[in-house]
Amino acid sequence: MTVRNIVLVGFMGTGKSTVGKKLAERLGWSFCDSDAVLEEVQQTSIPEIFRDYGEARFRALETETLAHILDSEGQVVATGGGAVLAESNRICMLQHGFVVALNATAETIIQRVSSDTNRPLLQGNLEERVHTLMEQRKHAYDFAHTSIDTTDLSEDEIADRIIQQAA
């Protein structure tokens, strides 16, 4: 594997963290979840950051966190679904790793996130929020080196494809 890092991007609920852990295990690399690192460094949770300081502050912290993480090598990095919205983050990801977009249908995403109350941007009517955000972000993940439709694939199959494509 000649790539420095593998960076997983995609909408909330596309499986970045579960696939990322599996992939890291298979490669013998470390796994890093940028949201988890941000929460650890800030000693608080993402919903609390949104509530107390707003989304703009969260985005600034997200950019700082990503830049810090991507300074190292040999990691599979799962990013937050909105990390791709800032051009500087996209450039940073492309410069420091092989960027893989995971795609899933709105139905799959709604099913996966329905029991989770930890996502500030999905509060309220879940179906409506997912459809609106997916529409707003429909091209947001196009910059990735490659993309994988995860709909009918197991985590192992997704990891296999990423390994083949990153080689």
CB of 81 to ligand S3P, least distance (A): 3
By the rule CB under 6 A, 15 interacts with ligand S3P: no
Query: Considering beta carbons, is residue 81 or 97 the nearer one to ligand S3P?
Result: 81
Contact 53, 62 (CB under 8 A): no
List the one residue from 7, 24, 46, 77 that touches ligand S3P (CB under 6 A).
46
By the rule CB under 6 A, 39 interacts with ligand S3P: no
CB of 4 to ligand S3P, least distance (A): 22
By the rule CB under 6 A, 120 interacts with ligand S3P: yes
Q: How far apart are CA 141 and CA 115, in angstroms?
A: 25
Contact 130, 110 (CB under 8 A): yes
By the rule CB under 6 A, 81 interacts with ligand S3P: yes
Nearby residues of 141 by Cβ (< 8 Å), 6 or more positions away: 9, 10, 11, 84, 101, 103, 147
CB of 67 to ligand S3P, least distance (A): 16
Query: Considering beta carbons, is residue 74 or 120 the nearer one to ligand S3P?
Result: 120
Strand partners, 148: 102
Q: Classify strands 5-9 and 75-78 as parallel, antiparallel or unpaired.
A: parallel
CB of 156 to ligand S3P, least distance (A): 21
- Which residues are near ligand S3P by CB under 6 A? 12, 35, 46, 80-82, 119-121
